[in-house]
Amino acid sequence: MSDELVSIATFNVAPDAYIVKGMLEENGIASVVEDDNNLYVPVFGGVRLLVRRSDAERAEALVNEFNS
């Protein structure tokens, strides 16, 4: 199902996830930040950035370009 949400990146702190979320949305890709209110984020695997499965490949390419 193309509307299923998949994780494309994990961050240690929520502000980093929101920066990348903004970049994705500027490129037309809707995204969701998950676990941003968890005080124990690093212990439980970090803050995840989710996108629709149909956007995942393009989103991952943009994140990699952003991180270069």
Looking at the DSSP bridge assignments, the partners of residue 47 are: 11
Domain ranges of the chain: 5-67
Q: At 43, which amino acid appears?
A: V
pLDDT digits (tens, 9 = 90+) for 12-65: 888 999 999 999 999 999 999 987 555 555 556 678 899 999 999 999 999 988
Please tell me the CATH code under which domain 5-67 is placed.
Answer: 3.30.70
Looking up tokens 């499965």 gives: 53
Single-letter residue type at 35: D
pTM: 0.81
